[in-house]
Amino acid sequence: MMDNSARQSIEALFHPSRIAVVGASPNPGFAHSIHRLLIKGGFEGEIFAVNPRYSEVLGSPCYPSIDAIPGGVDKAIIIVPSHHVLNALEQAERAGAKAVNIIASGFGEQDDEAARERQRAVREFAERTGIRAVGPNCLGIVSTRAKMIAISGPYQAFNRGPIGLVMQSGLLAYSTTLPPMDRGFGFSYVVTTGNEADLEAADFIRYMVEDDETRVIGCFIEQFRNPEKLIEAAELAAERKKPIVVLKIGRSEGAKRAARAHTGSLVGSFEIVDAVMRRLGIVRVNNLDEMIETLAIFHTTKLPQGPGVGTIFVSGGAGGLVSDLAESIGVTLPPLAPETAEKLAAVIPPYGTVGNPLDTTGQVGQQPEILEGSLIAMGEDPNIHTVIYGQAFPTRVDLATPAGEVIRSTPVRFPDKVFLIASLVTGKIQPGGRYDIDPVEPTTEIGGVPFLQGMENTLRAVKSMNDYAEFLRNRNALPKHQAAPSDVADYAREIVLAAGGKPLVERAAKSVLSLYGIPITQESLATTPEDAVEAARAIGYPVVLKIESPDIAHKTEAGGVLLNIGDDGAVRSGFASIMSRARNYAPQAELAGVLVQEMVPKGQEIIVGMTQDPAFGPAIAVGLGGVLVEVLRDIQIGVPPLSEYDLRGMIARLRGAAILEGVRGAAPSDVDALVDVLARFSQLCLDLRDVVSEIDINPLVVFERGKGARVVDCLIVPKAGTGA
Amino acid sequence: MMDNSARQSIEALFHPSRIAVVGASPNPGFAHSIHRLLIKGGFEGEIFAVNPRYSEVLGSPCYPSIDAIPGGVDKAIIIVPSHHVLNALEQAERAGAKAVNIIASGFGEQDDEAARERQRAVREFAERTGIRAVGPNCLGIVSTRAKMIAISGPYQAFNRGPIGLVMQSGLLAYSTTLPPMDRGFGFSYVVTTGNEADLEAADFIRYMVEDDETRVIGCFIEQFRNPEKLIEAAELAAERKKPIVVLKIGRSEGAKRAARAHTGSLVGSFEIVDAVMRRLGIVRVNNLDEMIETLAIFHTTKLPQGPGVGTIFVSGGAGGLVSDLAESIGVTLPPLAPETAEKLAAVIPPYGTVGNPLDTTGQVGQQPEILEGSLIAMGEDPNIHTVIYGQAFPTRVDLATPAGEVIRSTPVRFPDKVFLIASLVTGKIQPGGRYDIDPVEPTTEIGGVPFLQGMENTLRAVKSMNDYAEFLRNRNALPKHQAAPSDVADYAREIVLAAGGKPLVERAAKSVLSLYGIPITQESLATTPEDAVEAARAIGYPVVLKIESPDIAHKTEAGGVLLNIGDDGAVRSGFASIMSRARNYAPQAELAGVLVQEMVPKGQEIIVGMTQDPAFGPAIAVGLGGVLVEVLRDIQIGVPPLSEYDLRGMIARLRGAAILEGVRGAAPSDVDALVDVLARFSQLCLDLRDVVSEIDINPLVVFERGKGARVVDCLIVPKAGTGA
């Protein structure tokens, strides 16, 4: 549940009836800009100016302080210099405000103690009074339903529509509203959250998830402050099938430095936050233009039933370009079904090309029945779930023309299919086929069909839509791995704690894995050469010998590992040499003995790891052993709990995934066994998150299909301070 | 040299004084559209209509045939149906035309013999008469200097400017002119080349390279028909420092299929054509929006002196976003020099961030001296070669304002540095800082500074500019590998021919490599066991034994390879067993004996290959042995002649390149030796291109730095029909 104080305050921020503009002024500046737009936007509540120097500003009555406003206010927009803000907050409290929007800079973003102290004071004020704050250091808020343009910026008006925006950068709110509004995009709410001294992005996301007018939420995020809030909001969004589109920065060192300078705090691991977002079905985008097209595509109220995309162009060259882009982006353009090709052959001129992409030729302009036949044939093709009608440049289709009528009436005949219109390039919308020079109305849709620009970002948006639809289909289809019985977790925790804060010896670490049903090598500790021989015979030759000592983490470096020991004599001499090398290597070390271990057959080596993110907790990494992990960093990260669907996705996204299918005549690997190990490991990591800081399974050997997998070595590092 | 008939014909196409519009009509259609735009564009020569049904069309006198025009014409635009085209060509000849533009469809793009025959007839006409043709199946030509808009399309006018366009798709010419002209782009020439029955893209590229008004050439290419023409044009362009920007399709199977359907011919290997373009310094782009920004960036007449890019934003969020994008695109944002940071600290407000990206804060709007100080500090930084001033959305900067004055006057103080203005997103240009509503003039530059849109494509364009500048710097710096003496090539050729058309045995293949100075294993052929022992002793133990037979290509499969033979006895028994296994494997095979070969020490295995492209000739592939080549296809392709600069670039672009630097404590590999082998191999491939179809060196073992490299095995396959 969203906490009530946040909901009520956001309600007051978006739907106030009485607003105080604190710091109002007739001179240019933030206050003037916001005040002017509040009036110009037609805000239907009452606006009060606050400034001791005036009795009226921009036609609004002006008071010396907020609490001097007769009858009080429910929202204060605070635009005074930073050292006056606390005073203004107190006035707002006395005036009965339910929420405040602090525009002023000079808080946590600034590198001095007084500024940081001011930010703490804002937070404490909100906590003490329940009067929640957005900001400081932001540009304001827009609520089109309330006709409230309470944002500083070069706006003339604000279009109402289904997009909600939550922006941790005010400037980028301009980027994602101004050019899109020129194209007819409309917004429900826009909020710039600034330093987030109190209310944070996830609070607003949650509010918009619950808001019926908002159909898609776009966010620019430097940092999610409170993972639980994000997770809760995203899970509700998935239930409501409402996409959240996030541009999260922080992948590069430069971005991490910038955010550190900007917000004074660590961004955290980009990869882990990315994995969390993926698991939650959050749509990730990498640039603002891509975000804009992705928001445009989610204007469609349908989602595709599968990944197949059919594309229609009036040129062959365009088709080749789109094939290349689709392949590189991972959008599937399936071949046409034979019936589809037959239907198309009957309508396409001989110099066109029946295929996917379909080249209808320019004749489509003269004969709308070519377009109609093409849309119908694609719509009826069972392998095509989304149909893109492509343009050479952004063109307004006149719905009053026969071609317009086709575009308006054909898609509605296919309620299960998504139809899109997309231009190869971005740009100003040009008049339609008659080459007239009428001014062109902006639009995000033509006849109810989303209208996208720029083929690369269009195809990325299509990929995101397909992935989102697949996420929703699979979300409840595959259960999460069943939790282990609580006594298993308790026992595993005991083993970890027993290590006294030191890394667990291999055998102990593997016993923890084994408790969760993860297959490990057969092995036993021998304290004498004869014990070792007995153990080796029981396991079966050949065997491996390894030193066991809580004080020797790097066994190989200590000369403490012997492979492929074939008989009793070799075991005896091996035992002796391992013990003596270990003693030389670390004279003070406690030597528990020698671990006698089965020598596992060859298989695909997999590396599995767990690390902890300070904010998001345990994250699991998986990669193929060798050059792929070590040189190419070919690793996929997931954040538990992970379903079988999630885990298979992680494996499939490895660049070297084909190796598991078997290359150069090798047998395919037992991927099912790998998924099973990872699912169990996911549960283990969740159960032990409080006591374990790091786990490293290296390698897990996966055998050929049907033959399972086995952990050969494992390191578990307890959290600091968890020793007995 | 460009051939004279092509030059004269293109001159007539772009600068005619008398044009016949053949098929002119008062009714809507291609002819009407072209004719109307010719008049509307203000063409200063004479326009004649040709159509037996009219005496006047759109105000132009109309004649029943081209040769009925008194005084004739120098150019005919032929827009009649395809079966009338040959007749029109003959009329054009009689009318003295120097060139024709055939718009009509129904030729080679159509899947029937009569249509293909028509296309052959067009070509034969051009060959016979020297009256060269562009088309058929295209949309026309524009020459702004001649005020000639001879193109069918939704144009009102055509801006004159420095961009030349050569488009193998008419529709995509719309994409790359209409929206860009809304932004103020101007063009010198635009040509849509259609089926290229006669004149082809490279002819027009060459013409534009020689044209002084054209500063940058943009091309959409499905297929280069004549490699020599392309190479000649591109080499001249590099000499003149005139960038050619190419969007070449055909990477995906879908695009290859589309082009096959569209032009009826094979696209050829995308990778090889790409390698050719890279070597020639052609700027490659992957989508049309990227092409548009890349053409915009080359409006700058400067090129950067190095790769360092400094970025200035009025927001911290933008900086993080740009850091992430720059890293993924490979654009370097170097840290600021200490002096630069000091200078900036003196001008940036405390809530800004001094760094790269630089966050000046929005205060820059009120205080233009912040912008000036920032531009100067960046301009003076020795590590920064290009400075980007970023906008949140496309904004017209009013040069009459103080900020505008800064933008106009500061960059000219740094003649060696490139300055750019770039918006984070694409979109309509908005009014400047005063938030007025004046209509905004389109522009590709602000105060002489190129004005780009969309940060991802902007940074790709910056990367292309940097790579292009580096290409020009290195073009003459490093000599190509010296050609081998001609007797070496002659002797190598003899060895190949002596194989009688069969693949060369390993020893012969390696002797060819050795002639070019490529180091190979020490080895000699033994025909008796005692020969083999003698050879092994001379080489030094351990050795490798391999069957030698011209009839056994797969030696390992035949059981014909024994590794790590340590003493005389093992050589004797090895000899016998190899010979007998080979006899069992291939009873009819001629067995030459056993090759005794040194056992090379461990090193990095490299795979080097040569294949031949039907159009572009030999191409060289290099990759790191193992999973990188076999699973990830981590291969770089180059087309000889390759300079040391080219070869080092190929190696550096391998995804696994870090392995050569030494990973996990391994010593770095002898990259110099690898480059030397590749340079020699490059020469060999050129010399033997007529007799060899394929070479496969697998592996070349590269030892640690300073210790060289050695070829362990090699296969050379002669071209079919080159046997003795």
- Between strands B604-613 and B617-624, the pairing is antiparallel
The Cα-based distances of B280 to A412, B246, B475 in angstroms read 51, 12, 9
Q: Residues 382-411, chain A: which have Cβ within 8 Å of B?
A: 392-394
Secondary structure element (H or E) that encloses residue A46, with its range = strand A46-50
> Is A329 an 8 Å CB contact of chain B?
no
Spatial CB neighbours of B24, under 8 Å, sequence gap ≥ 6: B31, B32, B35, B49, B50, B51, B54, B57, B58, B60, B62, B79
What CA–CA distance (Å, rounded) separates A290 from A292?
5
Q: Residues 251-280, chain A: which have Cβ within 8 Å of B?
A: 251-255, 257-259, 261-262
The predicted pLDDT at position B363 comes to 83
Tell me which residue has tokens 């000649």: B232
A355–B261 C-beta distance less than 8 A: yes
For chain B, what percent of residues have pLDDT higher than 70?
Answer: 95
Mean pLDDT for A539-549 is: 95
Residue B490 lies inside a defined structural domain of this protein: no
Residues of A in contact with B317 (CB under 8 A): 167-169, 171-172, 220, 222, 249, 262
Q: Residues 440-499, chain A: which have Cβ within 8 Å of B?
A: 453-456
Best CA proximity match to A3, nearest among A190, A134, A188, A130:
A130
What CA–CA distance (Å, rounded) separates A143 from B193?
52
The predicted pLDDT at position B267 comes to 42
Specify whether A165 is located in the same domain as A259.
yes
pLDDT tens digits, A168-199:
998 999 999 999 998 889 999 999 999 999 99
Residues of B in contact with A329 (CB under 8 A): none
Specify whether B335 is located in the same domain as B438.
yes
DSSP letters, B61-90, are EEESSGGGSTT--SEEEE-S-GGGHHHHHH
Domain termination site, one of A550, A579, A598: A598
Nearest to B655 among A33, A179, A632 (CB): A632
Q: Residues 212-231, chain B: which have Cβ within 8 Å of A?
A: 220, 222
Is the pLDDT score of A640 beyond 80? yes
B289–A258 C-beta distance less than 8 A: no
Specify whether A119 is located in the same domain as A267.
yes
Domain termination site, one of A579, A598, A617: A598
> Is B633 an 8 Å CB contact of chain A?
no
Rg of chain B's alpha carbons, rounded to an integer?
A: 31
The predicted pLDDT at position B567 comes to 95
The predicted pLDDT at position B266 comes to 45
Spatial CB neighbours of A714, under 8 Å, sequence gap ≥ 6: A506, A509, A510, A513, A520, A695, A696, A697, A698
Q: Give A174→chain B minimum CA distance, Å.
A: 6
Q: Give B256→chain A minimum CA distance, Å.
A: 7
pLDDT tens digits, B364-417:
878 889 999 999 999 999 999 999 999 999 988 888 888 889 988 999 999 999
Is the pLDDT score of A75 beyond 80? yes
| Secondary structure letter of residue B476 according to DSSP | T
Global model pTM greater than 0.80: yes
Of A48-52, A609-613, B130-134, B451-455, least confident by mean pLDDT is A609-613
CATH number at residue B471: 3.40.50.261
Residue B492 lies inside a defined structural domain of this protein: no
Q: Give B535→chain A minimum CA distance, Å.
A: 35
Most confidently predicted of A274-278, A303-307, B426-430: A303-307
Specify whether B648 is located in the same domain as B541.
no
What are residue A191's DSSP bridge partners?
A141, A166
B268 falls in which pLDDT band (50, 70, 90)?
low
Specify whether B613 is located in the same domain as B580.
no
| Secondary structure letter of residue B430 according to DSSP | B
| B433 vs A332, higher pLDDT | A332
Specify whether B592 is located in the same domain as B609.
no
The predicted pLDDT at position B441 comes to 64
Tell me which residue has tokens 């990188």: B628
Q: Give B120→chain A minimum CA distance, Å.
A: 17
**Chains A–B, number of C-beta pairs less than 8 Å apart:** 310
pLDDT tens digits, A502-526:
999 999 999 999 999 999 999 999 9
Contact between residue B683 and residue B642 where contact means Cβ atoms under 8 Å apart: no
Residue A508 lies inside a defined structural domain of this protein: no
B179–A288 C-beta distance less than 8 A: no
- Burial state string for A361-372 with b = 16 or more CB within 10 A and e = fewer than 16: bbebbebbebbb
The Cα-based distances of B672 to A51, B619, B636, B678 in angstroms read 74, 21, 17, 10
A317–B262 C-beta distance less than 8 A: yes
Best CA proximity match to A570, nearest among A545, A592, A603:
A545
Would you say the ipTM is above 0.85? yes
Mean pLDDT for A12-41 is: 96
> Is B312 an 8 Å CB contact of chain A?
no
Is the pLDDT score of B436 beyond 50? no
Specify whether B542 is located in the same domain as B575.
yes
Contact between residue A115 and residue A108 where contact means Cβ atoms under 8 Å apart: yes
pLDDT tens digits, B715-724:
999 998 775 5
| CA A310 remoteness from chain centre | 27
Residue B500 lies inside a defined structural domain of this protein: no
The predicted pLDDT at position A350 comes to 84
What CA–CA distance (Å, rounded) separates A570 from A562?
10
Tokens at residue A131, please?
């009067």
Is the pLDDT score of B265 beyond 50? no
Secondary structure element (H or E) that encloses residue B461, with its range = helix B455-475
Is the pLDDT score of A259 beyond 80? no
What CA–CA distance (Å, rounded) separates A34 from B313?
23
Specify whether B124 is located in the same domain as B39.
yes
Q: Which domain holds residue A136?
A: 4-297
Specify whether B632 is located in the same domain as B670.
yes
B106–A171 C-beta distance less than 8 A: no
Mutate which of A152, A288, A606 to disrupt the B interface (most B C-beta within 10 Å)?
A288
The predicted pLDDT at position B631 comes to 82
Is the pLDDT score of A435 beyond 90? no
Secondary structure element (H or E) that encloses residue B658, with its range = helix B658-661
Residue B254 lies inside a defined structural domain of this protein: yes
Tokens at residue B247, please?
């969007």
What CA–CA distance (Å, rounded) separates A350 from B110?
6
Residue B509 lies inside a defined structural domain of this protein: no
Spatial CB neighbours of B702, under 8 Å, sequence gap ≥ 6: B603, B604, B605, B606, B660, B669, B670, B671, B673, B674, B709
A262 falls in which pLDDT band (50, 70, 90)?
low
Mean pLDDT for A407-430 is: 92
The Cα-based distances of A346 to A342, A366, B107 in angstroms read 7, 17, 20
A663–B630 C-beta distance less than 8 A: yes
Packing angle between helix A644-653 and helix A270-279, nearest 10 degrees?
Answer: 130
For chain A, what percent of residues have pLDDT higher than 90?
Answer: 77
Specify whether A135 is located in the same domain as A149.
yes
Residues of B in contact with A357 (CB under 8 A): 254, 258
Is the pLDDT score of A401 beyond 90? no
Q: Residues 40-99, chain B: which have Cβ within 8 Å of A?
A: none
Domain termination site, one of B531, B565, B598: B598
> Is A247 an 8 Å CB contact of chain B?
yes
The Cα-based distances of A101 to A29, A114, A165 in angstroms read 16, 21, 16
| B624 vs A254, higher pLDDT | B624
Contact between residue B465 and residue B290 where contact means Cβ atoms under 8 Å apart: no
pLDDT tens digits, B333-355:
999 999 999 999 999 988 888 99
Best CA proximity match to B384, nearest among B326, B337, B321:
B337
Geometric angle at alpha carbon A493, from A491 and A494, rounded to 5°: 65
| Secondary structure letter of residue A669 according to DSSP | B
Residue B491 lies inside a defined structural domain of this protein: no
The predicted pLDDT at position B350 comes to 84
Best CA proximity match to B151, nearest among B177, B112, B186:
B177
Measured over the CA atoms of residue A630, residue A636, residue A639 and residue A640, the dihedral's sign is negative
A480 falls in which pLDDT band (50, 70, 90)?
low
pLDDT tens digits, B168-197:
998 999 999 999 998 889 999 999 999 999
Residues of A in contact with B170 (CB under 8 A): 315
The predicted pLDDT at position A352 comes to 86
What CA–CA distance (Å, rounded) separates A628 from A605?
11
What CA–CA distance (Å, rounded) separates B227 from B230?
5
Instruction: List, in sequence order, every beta strand (DSSP E) within A396-507.
Output: 418-423, 445-446, 449-453
Mean pLDDT for A56-84 is: 96
Q: Give B579→chain A minimum CA distance, Å.
A: 27
Most confidently predicted of A536-545, B220-229, B355-364: A536-545
Rg of chain A's alpha carbons, rounded to an integer?
A: 31
B437 falls in which pLDDT band (50, 70, 90)?
very low
CATH number at residue B550: 3.30.1490.20
The predicted pLDDT at position A333 comes to 97
The predicted pLDDT at position A484 comes to 67
Torsion of CA A323, A324, A326, A330, to 10 degrees: 130
User: How many CB atoms neighbour CB B117 within 10 A?
Assistant: 11
Tell me which residue has tokens 């981590």: B634
In chain B, the residue whose alpha carbon lies closest to the alpha carbon of A626 is B627
Question: Could you tell me how many helices (H) and strands (E) chain A has, helices first?
Answer: 23, 30
Tokens at residue B97, please?
């035309």
A180–B292 C-beta distance less than 8 A: no
Is the pLDDT score of B103 beyond 80? yes
Q: What is the mean pLDDT of chain A?
A: 91
Specify whether B43 is located in the same domain as B123.
yes
| Secondary structure letter of residue A433 according to DSSP | T
The predicted pLDDT at position B361 comes to 85
Q: Give B435→chain A minimum CA distance, Å.
A: 5
pLDDT tens digits, A206-218:
999 999 999 999 9
Of B217-231, B261-275, B628-642, least confident by mean pLDDT is B261-275
Is the pLDDT score of A433 beyond 60? no
Best CA proximity match to B598, nearest among B670, B655, B524, B666:
B524
Is the pLDDT score of A160 beyond 50? yes
CATH number at residue B611: 3.30.470.20
Q: Residues 660-689, chain A: which have Cβ within 8 Å of B?
A: 663-664
> How many domains in chain A?
4
Tokens at residue A675, please?
């998924």
Q: Give A156→chain B minimum CA distance, Å.
A: 9
| Secondary structure letter of residue B588 according to DSSP | T
Percentage helix, strand, coil, to 5, in chain B?
40, 20, 40
Packing angle between helix B455-475 and helix B316-329, nearest 10 degrees?
Answer: 50
Specify whether A560 is located in the same domain as A611.
no
> Is B655 an 8 Å CB contact of chain A?
yes
What CA–CA distance (Å, rounded) separates B684 from B512?
9
Residue B214 lies inside a defined structural domain of this protein: yes
